[in-house]
Structure 1
């Protein structure tokens, strides 16, 4: 039994094309070990969530290279991450 989208509430719930939702963002290293995990509203685009995701890291250092799919292809994001030495 699925919950009605109208019942979803809270800071981590945002509007989507199909109602309300939450994005679960995760990143892993080359061995598949979890580096960072974060849940947030589904409203913002992924490129706007990467910096906050990386702040949630569970390791003392981040991998030397970050690789993302086409959803993360953004020159401003690339510039920001390079500037912050991610």
Structure 2
């Protein structure tokens, strides 16, 4: 997963939110929560990054970019579910 200075998210204890992913240090990297009459999904890393992001930055993803395991789809699906 491509990451470049993205945020982490701090939730209040008991917050009505789903943590979809965490960084290695345990902080929330992707969260979905109610907002108004809908839901909002926020994410620190870049699940939309394709191979050009890595090559443009002079990086190599040792696992390769695999959209068949795209965590971005999980974020979208969780955000729009139940609406």
Quick check: TM above 0.5?
A: no
In terms of fraction of residues, the more helix-rich structure is 1
TM-score of the superposed pair, with normalisation by structure 2: 0.27
- Larger RCO (CA under 8 A, 6+ residues apart): 2
Name which one, 1 or 2, has greater alpha-carbon Rg.
1
TM-score (norm 1): 0.27
